[in-house]
Structure 1
Amino acid sequence: MRTRGSTVRFRLTLLYSALFLVSGAVLLLIVYLLLAGGLPVVRIHGPGFVGDLGTICARRDGVPALGDELAACADQARTLLEAQRAGTLRQFLLQAGAALASMTIVSVGLGWLVAGRVLRPLRVITTAARRISASDLHQRLAMTGKRDELTELGDTFDELLGRLDAAFTAQRQFVANASHELRTPLARQRTVLEVALTDPAATVSGLQVVCRRVLAAGEQQERLIEALLTLARSERGLDRREPVDLRAIVDAVVSARDAAGRDVRVCLGPAIALGDARLVEQLVVNLVDNAIRHNVEGGSVEVRTRAGEGVATLTVANTGTAIPLDQIDQLFEPFTRLAGERTATGDGLGLGLPIVAAVVAAHNGHLDARPRPGGGLNVTVELSHATNS
């Protein structure tokens, strides 16, 4: 439970009042010193004062005071004038102090009102933050008025809501797509098994074919689940980093792949990256498989590795159909192809390039994908370079 003393408004009020009190006390001290210095100092004895003082101290018969009588009168006058000066200063202090105390009390109330007005945008943001949930992230504060730190805070909060809205939307879409992709092979398995069970003339060879089709559907599910786990692990980030021989991984991956009539050219230079070896291997596998799969008959694939200034670079380029530049980003979205089209049932799961992007992001690397003039895609990945030492 929040107490009143813990609120920002209360603390601001105390701050405003304290500043007013200190400033008023300093001003009061300055005025007091100026007033004390401005009042004349009592000087009775001296040239020019004897005649006037003698007249002032005259006896009742009008004879001016002289001698001891004048000295006694001068002492009395000095005492009276000094008392008047001290009384004037004391009266000023009392009245000014009372005025300062009264205005300090007033400043508390004014400070409370001003603090409330200053903090009003914060209350708007707090109320909106409590009201907005994952189901209505489309709401915005849209703060108006003079541009200051609080309106900038409101705009920053709106930008945060926008990013959260996009992230939740992408997550919901990803879950829906993943559910669809998992449901398709399950439905295929169920259909094949039901047909086999209801066939009264089923033979051993026919059942073997059915079992092979069920196994193929199961393998597709396994590949999809592994890809989803790799994607989730990449988006979680790295627990540790170690030197990874990018050239050796690329050489092993390319050697193990069937190019299916594609001309695969490699130019592998030394490249030691710093990161997770298993994730880097998945990155290479997906890039090479994507370049081979999404190609044209008789096309080519080029794979290069090299070490640059502080980075290890991997470049994979292939021939293929022309890709519009404004659709490149869609290739890195899960379960999508060109123009946002869903992946077809086949070898591709629609997770290859999204996994590449997630692995690069987990390594704080740089990913650049550009369409080639004659068709196909050129993908360059830069990861932090690690020395052999």
Structure 2
Amino acid sequence: MVALLTALALVSAGLAAYFVEIRRVDGQIRQEISQELGQFETLAARGVDPLTNVAFADVDSLLSSAMTRNQPAAHERIIAFFSDGERRFLGRRDTALFSSLEFTDAVERLRTTGGTAVVEATSGRYVISVRPVLDGQGRSAAFVVAWNVTAQRAEIRSMILTYGAVALGSWLVITLVAWLIAGRLLRPVRSLRATAQQIADSGDLGRRIDVTGRDDLTDLTETVNEMLDRLEGAFASQRELLDDAGHELRTPLTVLRGHLELLDAHDADEVTATRALLLDEVDRMSLLVDDLLVLAKARRPDFVRPGDVDASALVAGLLEKCRALGDRAWVLDAAPPDGTVVRLDPHRVTQAMLQLAENAVRHTVDGATIALGCEVGPETVTLWVRDAGPGVAPEDRTVVFERFQRGTRSRGDGFGLGLSIVTAIAEAHGGSLSLDPYRPGAGATFRLRMPRTPPTGPAQ
């Protein structure tokens, strides 16, 4: 395409230059002929020889004086036809023109009336202009200017041929350079296409495109690699979620099926007991599905909807809501001053903090202390839940953050998705969830750190 456009541009430029130059040359020829005739007519109108200051005796003396005063151009011929039939010329001898019957006929035709004609000779095309001259004695002569248009235009054709040779060489160089540059620039695009095709054929999202250079295509390659990283992580997370969900749902479904198969419909007590058990399992599955839906929505752009929130009012409201979770000594560790505004999604943050508080209730006894706190810095908002339970064992510190994983000291019948949900909420705000270092007998402190102004767009 580049080669075609370049060739078209060069040809168009050559043709345009040719026709413009032709028009210029034709105009120059007309101007030169008009100038020669004008000078002759001026001389004839004065009627005096400039060299002798004597009046011309006849038309022949006028023509002789005019011939001595002119120096024709390279392709110009000046011919004087005297009254006695003699013919003289200025310029290069042009036998082909002088022997041309068409030229002779044109001069004879215009000798009395004057005018311009175009004649063809073996040496080319000529424009001739004839000015008749008459004296009082009835003798006639003619002043003729002839211009070889073909020879004049031949110089233009020679110039165009030179331009064509230069343009052809330039086109070859431009095409070669463009081909080399395009090959280098499009190499990442071809690699991108090949990688995308291999991924589509094999389903392997682990392939990446080699990054070379420092240009826009390099940036595109890096962006695509980052996109593949996110896609690979998303698909891996999805597969893990589906595998774990299938594993967790299989147990309650097996329980439901087993009890239904063994149920004696005629035994009212057994029906009542089985109904209570099945409803309990259905409730557990509903909770699991709800948690899975939250995790599935975590990467959606609208998962969190940040707004301006009074941090002090938020943490005070959280403390009141937590009191309904259990009979514990609920205290407030710290709170920012009234009117401290942060930008976050209050509903999701409340969901995360209540999940952490519920976990703390599960791992503490009645009357134990559970504390909530909030600290707002110039760029970061930190909320935490601190309990007085046994704490998270060192071997469980990474396990508890994984989906469907529970620590060795876990209590209750949860699915191990609580901290995964809290982590998803933190990451959607551009933040993170962390656990303070383990100290025997000091309980556990989970901290939710988020930027004071979350980034735009969904967190990746």
State the TM-score, normalizing by the size of structure 2. 0.55
Offset of 1:231 from its aligned partner? Answer: 2.9
CA contact (8 A) 1:322 1:371 kept: no
Counterparts of 1:331 and 1:75, CA distance in 2: 110
Give the direction of change, closer, same or farther, for the CA distance of 1:310–1:105 in structure 2 (3 Å limit).
closer
**Any unmatched runs of 5+ in structure 2?**
16-63, 77-90, 93-151, 455-460
Number of residues of Structure 1 aligned to a counterpart in Structure 2: 324
* Alignment-mate amino acid for residue 237 of structure 2: A
Measure the CA separation in 2 of the matches of 1:318 and 1:212: 34
Partner of 2:315 in structure 1?
247
Aligned 8 A contact 1:312 1:385 in 2: no
Instruction: State the AA in 2 paired with 1:333.
Output: E
- Matched-pair contact (CA < 8 Å) for 1:366–1:382: yes
Please give the alpha-carbon distance, in whole angstroms, between the structure 1 residues aligned to 2:208 and 2:382. Answer: 44
Residues 312 and 169 from structure 1, CA distance in 2 versus in 1: closer, same or farther, beyond 3 angstroms? Answer: closer
RMSD: 4.7
| Contact 1:305 1:314 (8 Å CA) reproduced | yes
TM-score (norm 1): 0.64
Using the alignment, how far apart are the partners of 1:381 and 1:134 within structure 2?
Answer: 41
Deviation digits for residues 242-274 of structure 1 (CA, Å, limit 9, x no counterpart): 555422431233210115xx6543235356654
Kindly indicate whether the alpha-carbon contact (under 8 Å) linking 1:272 and 1:307 is maintained by their aligned counterparts in 2: no
Instruction: Check whether the contact 2:426–2:433 (CA below 8 A) recurs between aligned residues.
Output: no
**Structure 1 position 208 matched with structure 2 position 272:** yes
Shift of 1:129: 1.5
Q: 1:295 to 1:116 in 2, by over 3 A?
A: same
- Range moving further from structure 2, 174-183 or 189-198: 189-198
- The answer to whether the aligner puts 1:143 opposite 2:200 as a matched pair is no
Structure 1 letter corresponding to 2:432:
L
Q: Specify the SS of the correspondent of 2:332.
A: strand
Residue identity opposite 1:223 in structure 2: L
1:185 aligned partner, one-letter code: P
Specify which structure has the bigger relative contact order, considering alpha-carbon pairs within 8 angstroms and separated by 6 or more residues: 1
Residues 1:224 and 1:141: Cα distance change in structure 2 (over 3 Å): closer
18 and 293 in structure 1: CA distance in 2 versus 1, 3 angstrom threshold:
farther
In the alignment, which residue of structure 1 is the partner of 2:370? 301
Counterpart-to-counterpart distance in 2, 1:212 and 1:254: 29
Map 1:99-110 → 2, pairs under 5 A: 99-103=165-169, 105-106=171-172, 109-110=175-176
In structure 2, the residue matched to 1:121 is 188
Instruction: After superposition, give the CA deviation of every residue in 1:150-207 in whole Å (9 maximum; x if it has no partner).
Output: 4564454334323322221110110111122222222222223333428x8x562x54
CA distance in 1, matches of 2:263, 2:287: 25
Instruction: Name the one with the larger helix percent.
Output: 1
Residue of structure 2 equivalent to 1:97: 163
Letter of the 1:367 counterpart: S
In structure 1, stretches of 5+ residues that fail to align are: 1-9, 26-68
Q: Quick check: which one's strand share is greater?
A: 2
In structure 2, what is the Cα distance between the partners aligned to 1:348 and 1:297? 19
Which amino acid letter does the alignment assign opposite residue 177 of structure 1?
D
Q: Which residue of 2 aligns with 1:355?
A: 421
Q: CA deviation at 1:147?
A: 6.6
SS at match of 2:448: strand
Q: What are the residue-to-residue correspondences of 1:189-208 with 2, within 5 Å?
A: 189-197=256-264, 202=267, 204=269, 206-208=270-272
Q: Which residue of 1 aligns with 2:291?
A: 227
Q: Which residue of 2 aligns with 1:378?
A: 446
Q: Does 1:265 align with 2:334?
A: no
The 5 Å alignment of 1:1-389 reads 10=1, 12-13=2-3, 76=71, 79-80=73-74, 90=156, 93-103=159-169, 105-106=171-172, 109-110=175-176, 113-114=179-180, 117-118=183-184, 119-133=186-200, 136-143=203-210, 150=217, 153-197=220-264, 202=267, 204=269, 206-236=270-300, 237-238=302-303, 240-243=305-308, 245-259=313-327, 264-267=330-333, 269=335, 270=338, 274-294=343-363, 300-309=369-378, 312-319=381-388, 320-324=390-394, 327-328=397-398, 331-337=400-406, 346-362=412-428, 364-374=429-439, 376-382=444-450, 384=452
Q: Distance in 2 between matches of 1:152 and 1:230?
A: 34
Compared CA separation, residues 130 and 220, structure 1 to 2 (3 A): same
Q: Is this contact kept in 2: 1:295–1:321, CA < 8 A?
A: no
Q: Deviations over 1:107-150 (max 9, x none)?
A: 57536643652324312312321342395234525538767654
**Structure 1 pair 159–19 and aligned structure 2 pair: CA distance change class (3 A):** farther
User: Aligned letter for 2:320?
Assistant: A
Deviations 1:204-239 (A, max 9, x none): 2x5433332222212211221222233334432247
